Structure 1
Amino acid sequence: MSGTSMACPHVAGVAAYVKSFHPDWSPSAIKSAIMTTATPMNLKKNPEQEFAYGSGQINPTKATDPGLVYEVETEDYLKMLCAEGFDPMVLTKISGQNVTCSEKTQAKDLNYPTMSTYCSPLDPFNVTFRRTVTNVGFPNSTYKASVVPLRPEIQISVEPEILRFGSLKEKKSFVVSISGKALKNGTFVSSSLVWSDGNHSVRSPIVAYSIKV
């Protein structure tokens, strides 16, 4: 059996399992750990790809030791909602914080463990994503970026390509750029950014699509 009704209790159980190893981790760190350690699914079996099955098949054991995590704070969500045009007074009531929307963050730059972009069919595109990762693996570690699989329809670059950490909970930022000449109407193109230190593989799905979902 599959579907969100079946997935929800399984993921909740995995989240509790990860929390038992890391009581001080935030919900976003736990979510990141589960997503970035998931096993990729077969792209050919579902036309909607990541929009159907997310980051992949979760792996509870790997999720307890992800190496790096993408953390999102309440303020980050509020800045994103401000950029989406939500009323500051409504956000203040919902969050219990005084929200003025003086700072805004585009949805694509929310520090989420995945990256996706809609591209107008047959039009050239160039999109950048800004992300920050927190080291939860080894105190002294070096992660190198790779993109897999390489797809001819899109070009993906990462700057910088190497992240060096000298302590736990240290944060490093990077920028991912995605470009292409054009996507045919109704196209999904999937790839992944993987940060690896030789022991951990931190995978973030990347999707460019030209169909409204």
Structure 2
Amino acid sequence: MRVQVVEHPLIAHKLTQLRRVETSSNHFRQLTGELVTLLSYEASATIATERVRISTPVTETEGTQLAGPTPLVVPILRAGLGMLEGMTAMIPTAEVGFLGMARNEETLDIITYAERLPEDLTGRHVFVLDPMLATGGTLAESIRFLTQRNAARVSCICLLAAPEGIERLEREIGDIDVELFLGAIDEGLDENSYIVPGLGDAGDRLYGLAE
């Protein structure tokens, strides 16, 4: 597994604004989209391409276009939905699938409650969107789910990660070809498995449903 913290002044600035407790849901959604666009630029650097012959208004030339099969973007419900617009802004031709996975707050087990994906992902480069890599359980289960359907490559984009989550991924996914792109790696997890300093519950902050 390759782990890359994408270092850029704009990412650092926007992530700081995202962390602020006073940031509104509307501003939080805007910042999330902007951050994902910046992270996806780096995450898509190795996407498959092919040469193509085209005509410009002046002459014929050779250019580059994305190669098939079409990339697949998979946000993890529900918080991953807040990252989808930023990703598709970068790769508008990508197809979109969905995985609904939730953590049982008592047992910390991962439950798959919904999925809308092609049955066969042979040859597909899949981009998984999940704002927070905390314990790593959800992302590990998502990667296993996708590779069982023969995904050729999995690139995961997270805004924040805890060291414990990264270590669990490295331990559980073995030799699966996975890339992990992060805005930052935080200090660790608290007793409730929340990332510290973190930014709170990303889903609640995106959609304004915090109590």
Q: Give 1 or 2: higher helix fraction.
A: 2
**Higher relative contact order structure (alpha carbons within 8 Å, sequence separation ≥ 6):** 2
Q: Scaled by the length of structure 2, what TM-score is found?
A: 0.29
